């Protein structure tokens, strides 16, 4: 990320950039910063945008070969192409011979670092991974935004806010807008304000559902499940999130049993500290064997649904019944 900032500051650009990773907000921010630096004053004549699968590589290369029109650079912006997951020999070869004045910017969700295209971009340009930010970074970012609004927030309110929003920066930004509007007439934001305004994310309901399972509160677990269905959450996505949570609990429990602290686990799993601490508390209700069995059951349920042997709604119900 520092290399991109330096390039923008100096006005000296590499022929190709790759932005990827799960933090969509930061990717979009830096995409726009780089685009505006390469093509100042809203230049759209020298901008070509390609989005999604099925991009014609030959046509894209032909556009890249076109000289900039009364400008220093031509920019090709390629988003969510899938090129870095599916090998593209032609593009990998072309990357090594991009003409002067042409800049390619790829913005992707996933990449295969073993692929020729990834290696070509790494050799010729700059690769930046935008990962989910840690708790300390998010806290500083939130405090900076609130300072600009002349607002303060209590420690308890900050912790509750992050628990409700998770680590997605776009979601945090949206929830902060709602919160600052609600607290317009006051200087400090409290836990009560956060509880009233900040909406629960689906992942929180999954966490609460597994808590209910751990505490053998089957009725509560079922109610949370039906709440998610009422919110139009697909059963297979709910099953995926349950599977992910059980897998997370298993990893946290294994590391915790080996004597690692919450801070170390957070660093090793690249997760926010408050998420790790919550998982450590939740994992206490399960044995390692139970978590492994639950994971296997989740995989079996998914396979049964995909092969038509079981209804998707029922698959989650059976899991809830078995483990609560």
CATH number at residue 166: 1.10.8.60
Residues 59 and 150 in one domain: no
Task: Note whether 256 and 265 are within 8 A (CB).
Answer: yes
Residues 148 and 43 in one domain: no
Residues 193 and 217 in one domain: no
216, with CB counted inside 10 A (0-12, 13-18, 19+), is exposed
Residues 247 and 183 in one domain: no
Structural domain that includes position 292: 202-323
Q: What is the pLDDT of residue 207?
A: 78
Residues 237 and 263 in one domain: yes
CATH number at residue 278: 1.20.272.10
Residues 153 and 235 in one domain: no
Residues 184 and 84 in one domain: no
Residues 107 and 148 in one domain: no
- Share in percent of the chain as helix, strand, coil (round to 5): 60, 10, 30
Q: Which of 78, 109, 129 is the last residue of a domain?
A: 129
Residues 125 and 6 in one domain: yes
Residues 164 and 49 in one domain: no
Residues 123 and 6 in one domain: yes
Over the chain (324 residues), the average pLDDT of each successive run of 10 is 89 95 92 94 92 92 94 95 86 93 94 93 95 90 93 93 86 88 90 81 77 86 88 87 90 93 88 82 90 93 92 92 89
C-alpha 16/C-alpha 121 separation (Å) is 6
Task: Note whether 81 and 106 are within 8 A (CB).
Answer: yes
- Written as six digits, the tokens of 7 are 């390039």
Maximum C-alpha span of the chain: 70
Domain count, the chain: 3
Q: What is the pLDDT of residue 200?
A: 61
Which residues face 76 on adjacent strands?
A: 48, 104
- Scan for tokens 């929003």, then name that residue: 165
Residues 125 and 139 in one domain: no
């Amino acid at each position: 990320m520092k290399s991109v900032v330096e390039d923008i500051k100096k006005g000296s650009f590499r022929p190709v950039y790759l932005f990827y990773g799960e933090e969509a907000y930061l990717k979009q921010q830096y995409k726009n910063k780089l685009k505006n630096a390469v093509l100042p004053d809203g230049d759209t004549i020298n901008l070509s945008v390609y989005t999604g699968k099925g991009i014609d590589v030959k046509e894209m290369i032909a556009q890249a070969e076109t000289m900039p029109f009364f400008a220093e650079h031509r920019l090709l912006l390629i988003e969510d192409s899938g090129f870095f997951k599916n090998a593209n020999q032609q593009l990998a070869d072309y990357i090594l011979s991009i003409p002067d004045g042409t800049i390619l910017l790829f913005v992707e969700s996933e990449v295969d670092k073993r692929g020729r295209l990834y290696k070509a971009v790494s050799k010729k340009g700059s690769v930046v991974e935008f990962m989910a930010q840690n708790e300390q970074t998010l806290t500083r970012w939130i405090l900076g935004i609130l300072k600009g609004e002349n607002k303060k927030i209590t420690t308890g309110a900050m912790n509750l806010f992050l628990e409700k929003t998770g680590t997605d920066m776009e979601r945090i930004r949206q929830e902060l807008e709602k919160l600052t509007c609600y607290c317009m007439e006051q200087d400090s934001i409290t836990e009560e304000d956060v509880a009233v305004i900040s909406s629960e994310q689906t992942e929180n309901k999954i966490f609460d559902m597994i808590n209910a399972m751990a505490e053998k509160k089957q009725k509560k677990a079922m109610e949370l499940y039906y709440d998610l269905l009422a919110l139009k959450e697909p059963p297979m996505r709910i099953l995926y999130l349950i599977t992910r949570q059980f897998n997370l609990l298993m990893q946290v429990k294994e590391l915790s049993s080996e004597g690692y602290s919450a801070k170390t686990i957070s660093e090793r799993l690249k997760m926010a500290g408050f998420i790790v601490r919550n998982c450590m508390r939740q994992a206490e209700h399960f044995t390692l064997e139970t978590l492994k069995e639950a994971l296997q059951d989740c995989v079996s349920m998914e396979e049964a649904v995909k092969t038509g042997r079981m209804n998707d709604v029922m698959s989650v119900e059976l899991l809830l019944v078995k483990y609560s």
